[in-house]
Structure 1
Amino acid sequence: MDKIREYREHARTCELLIEKTEDLRVRQQLRRERQEWLELAASREAVLRGERWAGERALDEEMTLSSLRAFEALRRAQSGG
C-alpha cells in the first residue's frame, strides 16, 4: 500500500504543478505524467487484489514511466486502438 500511496502523491504533485504552470507544453507533459502515476497506482492495486490489469499482465510496481509508455503503446496496438 505504500507504493500506491507514493504513486498517488506523485500524481497529486503533478496536478498541483499543472495549476501553477503557464507553459502549455509543460502542462501537457505534467498531465501525461500525472496519468502515468495514476495508472501505476491502479496497476499496483490490481496486483494486490490478485487481478489482471486491463486484460494484460499486471504492471510491476517498479516499472519506469518510459516502460509504462511502451507497455501502453503495445497494449493499444494489440487492441487496434
Structure 2
Amino acid sequence: MNKAGRLALVKSVLSAVLIHQLLAFAPPKKTLKQLEKIQHGFLWAGRADAHGGHCHVNWRRVCHPLEYGGLGVRDLERTGLAFRL
C-alpha cells in the first residue's frame, strides 16, 4: 500500500477507533505516545515500528491541519484533552 493509502487508513480507521476510546476514558500519556508511535510507524513504514530514516516529517508537523502544511492526522493527547473540557 502506498503512503497516501496508509494516510487515509490512519486518519479514518486508526484515529477514529482511538478517538472513540478517548470519549470514554482518559488513558495515561505513555499509552497515548505508544498509540501514536504505532500510527507513526504504519504511516511511514507500513508496520507498527519505524525508526530514523523511515520518518519523513516530524510527527507534530503531520498533526497540523492541511491548511497549515500538515497532513491532518489528529494529535491524540490534544484531542483527548479537548474532549475532557
TM-score normalised by the shorter chain: which range applies?
Answer: 0.3 to 0.5
TM-score norm. by structure 2 comes to: 0.36
Structure 1 or 2: larger helix share?
1
TM-score norm. by structure 1 comes to: 0.37
